[in-house]
Amino acid sequence: MLQSFIPLLLMTFFICLFIVLMQFLWKYIDDLVGKGLEFSVIVELFFYAALTLVPMALPLAVLLASLMTFGNLGERFELTAMKASGVSLLKSMRPIIALMIVIAIGAFFFQNNVLPVAQTKMWTLLYSMRQKSPELEIPEGVFYDQIPGYNLFVQKKDAETGLLHNVMIYDVSAGFDNSRIILADTGKMSMTADKKHLFLSLKQGEQFENLKEQGTTRGNVPYRRESFTEKEIMIAFDANFNRMDEDGMRNQYVGKNISELQATIDSVKYRVDSIGLLYGQALKETPFLGLPYYRRVYEKGAIVNKPQKPVTLTTPINLDSLVIGKSAGTHKGCLTQALNEAKRSRQDYEFKSYTMGDDRKTIRRHGIELMKKFTLSFACIIFFFIGAPLGAIIRKGGLGMPLVISVFLFIFYYIIDNTGYKMARNGSLEVWQGMWLSSAVLLPLGVFFTYKAVNDSAVFNIDAYTIFFRKLLGRNEVRNVQMKEVIIDEVENTQALMLLNSLKEHATQFLNQYKSRQNYLSYWLNGFDRTKLHSLSKEVETVVEYLSNSRDKMVINRLMDLPIMRSLWLYKPSSYKWIGITCVILFPIGLPIYLLGISSQKHLLNEIKSILKTCDDLEKSINNNNP
């Protein structure tokens, strides 16, 4: 089993890792192209990116490898041979289960020890690449704006001599008001030895410059025009690749292990609790209507502060009485002052909430990263217990069907996992609820597939699902009666007619009891008698079982006209009267169920009428064959 599983696991893992690495490339290709980066730097970035993408590739590889392994075994009937030899599916899975436990433990240590370092180096390297200036490649006929503070236009370039023809330079490095425009017939550009400056040698041109910094107090802006035969310009342009310091990224949540994450969460929680207590105490001690919260009391030879005694109002205060007799201006001034005070208080509390909101966000992000250390290991085990039983059920090897099923299941897992992550990040769910949401959804699926595979149940039997949904929706099941090649108990016509007469009698009694449609009150309080329905259904099955031994093909065909009696709860919604009375009182809730119920009752009565007609036809067929 291990010899079959391990090569497939390695193959699928590297395939999945390559696919997600290509996704990473397309996502950040704009930060890499046109920067003149060395090949070794790009290889280093992709190495660290590959390590950070292992948590996404490993579960998919486990799912696909387990599907292919057990699909191949099922397709070659090796699973059947093992079961025939007394080796159950779970026993054949034991070596791979042990391997998956080892992989899960290794994934945990990878998440805790390797991934923080890889993420720190990858994000530091990626941000360093974003800060690097693009490689200098000035196009023809368009403005080039990749040099900070400058726009360059070149009409034509000579590839052999490196000359630039019809050069136009807009220099706004000193501000737009102090802009400078340079025109030249030809020019040549080169980089200094330290790759920190551009050197331009221009010939035959003019320079136009605003000198607003030297402007007069009357608002006139001096202007200067210069013609030159040869001019040299030095422009600051750092073309080197400078790595950022990793300490800044290492202090973020992506660069911490479990102990560091937990320490940060505890410290930030302590700060939030402390600040919350201070805010609460300050709010509690805020003077109300000019009355301070504390009063000074002389006690035991010292002055101490004690809270004011609560004031109970016997009658509410009429606030309008405060401005009665005052002028309209005074009235408006009071309202304005109160409104401004309320706005100041609101802004103060909003600022405090923003401060604490940032801390809570920090707690959530560190908590999410902490939960990720465990979810990868658990996801690998769950995907194995989904893929292995599913492969044993579908019995299709290769890359065709297993690949389709794996992609579908992984997309389903990824959507749920991403949804839980975002809800945990936004605070809509607790961190542990959001991060374990995908595992909680997929775990029952793994248990279901494992149970079905161990018991050789037909999971993909369409007929079984059709019958289930027909029962759920209350649809009729089709009776199928076949002629028997060997009959042990011959049908006696007297006994058959007696059974048919008894069935007709009981069916007629039921129809006479429920001639008219039940009203709303009668439906909820009485309904149909389920005991009689069960008895009638049992009697129908007795007739079918006895007459199925008949040698008359006409009788066998008539038996298929007998309906399969159902016992729907809609015939009698509740056996408890208090539930019926409650639904009668709650009319809007009970009315839709009542309408569905009387429709089902009408259908049942039609079935019982068809039983009477079929019994008559069976009696005629039996009498015609009676010698």
pLDDT value of residue 195: 66
Secondary structure tally for the chain: helices H, strands E: 19, 8
Query: Does pLDDT of 579 surpass 80?
Result: no
- Give the pLDDT confidence of 496-507 residue by residue, as tens digits: 888 888 888 988
Lowest mean pLDDT among 26-30, 150-154, 359-363, 410-414: 26-30
Dihedral angle sign, alpha carbons of residues 533, 534, 537, 542 = negative
In one-letter notation, the amino acid at residue 315 is: T
Mean pLDDT value of segment 92-118: 89
pLDDT value of residue 625: 65
- For residues 124 and 241, is the Cβ–Cβ distance under 8 A? no
Compute the distance between CA of residue 571 and CA of residue 533 in angstroms, rounded to an integer: 10
Percent of the chain with pLDDT over 90: 1
pLDDT value of residue 471: 58
Compute the distance between CA of residue 398 and CA of residue 70 in angstroms, rounded to an integer: 10
Mean pLDDT value of segment 213-241: 69
Nearest to 413 by CA among 55, 6, 119: 55
Query: Does pLDDT of 289 surpass 60?
Result: yes
Mean pLDDT value of segment 421-445: 87
pLDDT value of residue 16: 87
Compute the distance between CA of residue 90 and CA of residue 388 in angstroms, rounded to an integer: 10
- For residues 376 and 59, is the Cβ–Cβ distance under 8 A? yes
Query: Does pLDDT of 517 surpass 80?
Result: yes
- Give the pLDDT confidence of 582-591 residue by residue, as tens digits: 877 777 777 8
Task: Calculate the average pLDDT of the chain.
Answer: 80
> Angle, nearest 10°, between helix axes 39-52 and 54-75?
60
Query: Does pLDDT of 240 surpass 60?
Result: no
* Strands (E) located in 192-222: 197-210
176-182 long-range contacts, CB within 8 A, separation 24+: 177/210, 177/212, 177/221, 178/209, 178/210, 178/211, 178/212, 178/213, 179/209, 179/210, 180/207, 180/208, 180/209, 180/210, 181/207, 181/208, 181/209, 182/206, 182/207, 182/208, 182/231, 182/233
pLDDT value of residue 102: 92
Query: Does pLDDT of 474 surpass 60?
Result: no
Whether pTM exceeds 0.85: no
Q: Radius of gyration over alpha carbons of the chain, in Å?
A: 42
Query: Does pLDDT of 52 surpass 60?
Result: yes
pLDDT value of residue 466: 62
Query: Does pLDDT of 59 surpass 60?
Result: yes
Query: Does pLDDT of 464 surpass 70?
Result: no
Contacts of 157 (CB under 8 A, 6+ apart): 138, 140, 163, 164, 165
pLDDT value of residue 31: 66
φ/ψ region of 454 (left if φ > 0, alpha if ψ in -120 to 50, else beta) reads alpha
Helix ranges (DSSP H) in 395-436: 400-426, 431-435
- Give the pLDDT confidence of 175-206 residue by residue, as tens digits: 666 778 888 888 887 777 666 777 788 888 88
Q: Grade residue 484 by pLDDT with cuts at 50, 70 and 90.
A: confident
Nearest to 524 by CA among 578, 584, 568: 584
